[in-house]
A = this chain, B = another copy of it.
Amino acid sequence: MAIKFARRMKGLKGSEIRELLKLTENPEVISFAGGLPAPELFPIEEMKKISTLVLEESGAAALQYSTTEGFPALREHIADRMNSKNKTNITKDDILITNGSQQGLDFAGKVFLDEDDVVLCESPSYLGALNAFKAYSPKFIEVPTDQHGMKMDELEKILETTDRVKMIYVIPDFQNPTGRTWPMERRQKFMEIINKFEIPVIEDNPYGELRFEGENLPSLKSMDMKGLVVFLGSFSKIFCPGYRIGWTCAPKEILSKFVFVKQGADLQASSISQREVSKFMDIYDLDAHVEKLKEVYSRRRDLMLDTMAKELPEGLEYTHPEGGLFTWVELPSHLNAKVIMQDCLKNNVAYVPGGSFFPNGGKENCFRLNYSTMTDERIVEGITRLGAVLKQHMEVKAKA
């Protein structure tokens, strides 16, 4: 007997990151593979107070079904925050609460994509988004990037010569996996192009508030005059991922489709989680919490980059992220990060091989490192181990 699944299931495999995380659960392994926020900074004591307070003040409502759009007070907090941090001019009615921003990615696929439609994305791009979109069987065209993100002349060329482009997926701030940020001119040029071709844009922004240096730049959403930009936000990186609370901010016509899709997908986000996150913002200072995160992550980034300069072999390139959680390493083109990863695991250190961040494959000489989760000691020790493995591989190849 063979059960007949939908065609789309042929293209879907488990995320390489998730499978790797399983291998690296061994506490001996120093894993730079994840994208986890630092658990020692979670506001556990505060949340004890908050959870009691929410149940005392509105227990019955917190435990009951509520509306698909989400808890109004939380949506107001988010609108205020976006207007302040992302320079938008929105209200709570522009917001739908989702299960992390990941759910917004799935919904974007559902709302926009028929089989064989084209999605444009940065090359490389976030693996979890590519996997979410793949469920709707699109084709991907990767737009070339440089150290400042997507190359706008390349984007324009692709749009001029390609049919059925249904959406463009981008992470302009501290991109996953590269850590790169688009400068102002690129954002302006991008919006010019978008306005000309009138293609919906998914602006994924889970890391935007985690800027360690340089100037805060306006979101694409804030520059959207034609109702084309869908902004995805999340509390996972600035607060805690455990509640699974994120949001979609979209133009009315698009948002109403996302709300329909949310109804069918799971009715609504958790009533109690929404109220708890909202209450935290009522009585504590989320900005101050984010400042604390930035201080720690910024120090860890510095330590990682300094240790990389000392311990990694010559002939590599890596990014200097101005914020976010990741740096991205490119090896000489003859090396394969998936192969080297096997030796890394033998030496109890891990990263994410870069190949799976390219939806059309073919680039294996790169990997992603995360610096937000580790203690200082483990960062130094892990990068030192990594450096030793890489040196071996680069020497072998040099001799061969």
Inter-chain contact B128/A272, CB cutoff 8 Å: no
For window 1-30 of chain A, which residues contact chain B by CB distance below 8 Å? 1, 3-9, 12-15, 18
Complex alpha-carbon distance, A52 and B264, angstroms: 33
For window 108-131 of chain A, which residues contact chain B by CB distance below 8 Å? 110-114, 117, 128, 131
A261 within 8 A of B: yes
Majority-rule SS of A interface residues: helix
Inter-chain contact A59/B36, CB cutoff 8 Å: no
| A80-88, A95-103, A152-160 - the one binding chain B | A95-103
Complex alpha-carbon distance, A272 and B242, angstroms: 6
| A39-47, A213-221, A324-332 - the one binding chain B | A39-47
Contacts of A13 in B (CB 8 A): 260
Contacts of A321 in B (CB 8 A): none
Contacts of A273 in B (CB 8 A): 270, 272-273
Inter-chain contact B48/A60, CB cutoff 8 Å: no
Contacts of A9 in B (CB 8 A): 111, 257, 260
Q: How many copies does the complex hold?
A: 2
Contacts of A102 in B (CB 8 A): 264-267
Inter-chain contact B265/A103, CB cutoff 8 Å: yes
A263-B15, A265-B106 given; A7·B114 CB < 8 A: yes
Inter-chain contact A56/B63, CB cutoff 8 Å: no
A298 within 8 A of B: no
Q: Report 18 cross-chain contacts, Cβ distance below 8 Å, ordered by A residue.
A: A4-B166, A6-B110, A9-B111, A14-B260, A18-B263, A34-B65, A40-B60, A47-B59, A51-B52, A52-B52, A62-B242, A65-B242, A66-B242, A100-B266, A102-B264, A244-B267, A270-B270, A273-B273
**Chain A contacts to B: CB under 8 angstroms:** 1, 3-9, 12-15, 18, 34, 36-37, 39-40, 42, 44, 47-48, 51-52, 55-56, 59-68, 98-100, 102-103, 105-106, 110-114, 117, 128, 131-132, 134-136, 166, 198, 200, 226-228, 236, 240-244, 253-254, 257, 259-261, 263-273
Shortest Cβ-Cβ A-B pairs, 3 listed: A44-B59, A242-B271, A51-B51
